[in-house]
Amino acid sequence: MVLQYGTPSTMRWNAKTYDSSFGYVSALGAPLVDLLDPRQGERVLDLGCGTGALTAEISMRGAQVLGIDGSPAMIEKALAGYPGLDFIVGDGHDFGVAEPYDAVFSNAALHWMSRDPDMVIANVHEALIPGGRFIAEMGGAGNCAALIAAMSTAWREHGLREPDLPWYFPTPAEYAQRLEKAGFTVRLLEYFDRPTPLDECPAGASDWVRMFAGTPLANVPADLVEPLLRRVDELAAPALRTESGWMADYVRLRFAAVRR
């Protein structure tokens, strides 16, 4: 059964193409599972679990894991792919748990929970036992700057208002302050560039926009979508198209914090 907490109403994810074209997101999350270092029998919550690849990896290392995601399509795919595991639909801003967890894990998802980051952190705090770990990686300040600049210019050139972007990409200082204020001790915080090959996205920037900027794209008149995306490719190409293919200009924030 798919239980449902509040679902973010603006969320549009193509769960079908996520693994085939954007499976690199989970693949690049493997070192984060090492940082989590799940132990036999401990309870772990995977927040923004997507199609469940890392949830399954955590389970294989012996933990009891629950995956939560705001997208019903992602949860359906996770349930189909990993029938032995528990997944529920829920919003990072207002999920609740019956029994607290030893750790909350989150890969490439917190920057999507942008309505109120403090609320998300407070929920995670509430979901943990004292001493529980919050291990996560998310987009940091400057993430996808060239992709976003290409989008803004293309939208403007087509006479459209600049897109409302759905992400929150904090600086390390800003996010550490939020964590500390909410009752976490920050044990590790890394902020680094991670140029990421878009190997499975033949059209490059426009494929990325279709998958990750579905909400701003949905507000574009249908006849403008294709020319707009072609222009995004043209504008992004000088910065992001290399001889070996397209590279996304990812900047990541990775942290380990402990509930005080």
Binding site for ligand SAM (CB under 6 A): 8, 11, 13, 25-26, 29, 48-50, 53-54, 69-71, 74, 91-93, 107-109, 112-113
The whole-angstrom separation of Cα 134 and Cα 129 is 11
Give 4's DSSP letter. Answer: B
Q: Nearest to ligand SAM by Cβ — which residue?
A: 50
Least distance CB 188 / ligand SAM (angstroms): 19
256, β-bridge pairs: 135, 188
Least distance CB 221 / ligand SAM (angstroms): 26
User: Would you say 11 or 225 has its CB closer to ligand SAM?
Assistant: 11
User: Would you say 38 or 48 has its CB closer to ligand SAM?
Assistant: 48
The whole-angstrom separation of Cα 82 and Cα 71 is 16
| Residue where the block lists tokens 């490719």 | 233
Least distance CB 141 / ligand SAM (angstroms): 18
Least distance CB 81 / ligand SAM (angstroms): 12
Written as six digits, the tokens of 195 are 């140029």
User: Would you say 3 or 173 has its CB closer to ligand SAM?
Assistant: 3
DSSP 49-75: -TTSHHHHHHHHTT-EEEEEES-HHHH
* Burial of 76 (C-beta count, 10 Å sphere; 0-12/13-18/19+): middle
Least distance CB 33 / ligand SAM (angstroms): 10
User: Would you say 92 or 204 has its CB closer to ligand SAM?
Assistant: 92
